[in-house]
Structure 1
Amino acid sequence: MPDIDPATDGPTPRSVAWQTAVTVLQEAAPPFIPAGAHVMTLVVEYPPGDPGTPPHRHSGPAFGFVVEGEMLLEVEGDPERVVRAGEAFWEPGGDVIHYQDGNNRDDVPLRFTVTMLCEPGQPMLTLVDEQELAQRTDRRAPRPS
């Protein structure tokens, strides 16, 4: 019996591009997903040099992708790092402070997408006050000098 090519055989030719169209950018095992999670995907755009959102936390894990520019990312327990266009990032959410998500460049805008799994009835983002930041300094990774 001859081999059948799904791209050319049959009444309608089918694409085979899907077989090589996927590139894995990251894989993560989040520590939890809130029961009954509400999921939202956002596009965030910061102008050149913008420091981004003040320290905050999310009620569930968040997964993102930098579309344009460079993000300076810092999540509690991890050293700050630069995430460039075409790179993915994630954070566990819950009782973890997200210190930085600002534009690392002063000459180009930053644009990224983020998909968040939010705990039902909880805000997707809660700012952290100075008192709590001071109480948790031991959990923050050393900062570059």
Structure 2
Amino acid sequence: MADIDPATGGRTPRSDAWKTALTVLQEAEPPFIPEGVHVMTVVVEYPPGDPGTPPHRHSGPAFGFVVEGEMLLEVEGDPERVVHAGEAFWEPGGDVIHYQDGNNRDDVPLRFTVTMMCEPGQPMLTLVADEELAQRTDRRAPRPS
């Protein structure tokens, strides 16, 4: 006879699946978390071949997960890389420029989620002007040829 869980009123025993249900996708130590942070989680969807958001920055750290497709990701100081479906990514936010988040494939859509910690009263995303990009070329990792 199965053990009956009193918390369920004798209906069904509790599952032990929770004990092995967790998989850590990434761990990070962000350089800062803005005081009074506002947290939001969004879903971003780009059609096949879409270049994504122009160079921008976030006021706080951002943590993401690619649900479908492949993202071409480039954050200032790091070489561009492909993040595949099922993989996580993060960026520190603040003054760091996020150069690319586009769809790396021209045959399938890209869908990813991002949880951002935004400074109060600041937009979650600010585009970077071409003049500033030109001034900071020394901070960008070498690009593949």
Q: Same-fold call, TM > 0.5? A: yes
1:25 aligns to what?
25
Aligned CA-pair RMSD: 1.0
Paired residues, number: 139
Name stretches of at least 5 consecutive residues in structure 2 with no aligned partner. none
Percent of counterpart pairs with the same letter?
A: 89
Please list every run of 5 or more consecutive structure 1 residues that lacks an aligned counterpart in the other structure: 1-6
Query: 2:133 matched to 1:133?
Result: yes
Question: Displacement, 1:9?
Answer: 4.4
1:81 corresponds in structure 2 to 81
Instruction: Give the aligned partner of residue 8 of structure 1.
Output: 3
Counterpart CA distance in 2 for 1:27 and 1:15 is 27
Give deviations 1:89-137, integer Å, cap 9, x for gaps.
0000000000000000000000000000000000000000000000000
Equivalent residue runs for 1:59-98 within 5 Å: 59-98=59-98
> Counterpart of 1:143?
143
Q: Distance in 1 between matches of 2:42 and 2:5?
A: 41
Query: Within 1, Cα distance between the matches of 2:3 and 2:102?
Result: 49
What are the residue-to-residue correspondences of 1:29-68 with 2, within 5 Å? Answer: 29-68=29-68
Structure 2 counterpart of 1:105: 105
TM (norm. structure 1) is 0.94
Counterpart residue identity of residue 23, structure 1: T
Distance 1:88 1:128 in 2: 24
Deviation at 1:8, TM superposition (A): 3.0
Q: In structure 2, the residue corresponding to 1:117 is in which secondary structure?
A: strand
Runs of 4+ in 1 over 6 A off after TM superposition: none
Structure 1 residue 15: deviation in Å? 1.3
Matches of 1:20 and 1:80 in 2, distance apart? Answer: 33
Q: Secondary structure at the match of 1:144?
A: coil
Query: 1:123 — aligned with what?
Result: 123
Distance, in Å, in 1 between the alignment partners of 2:120 and 2:132 is: 24
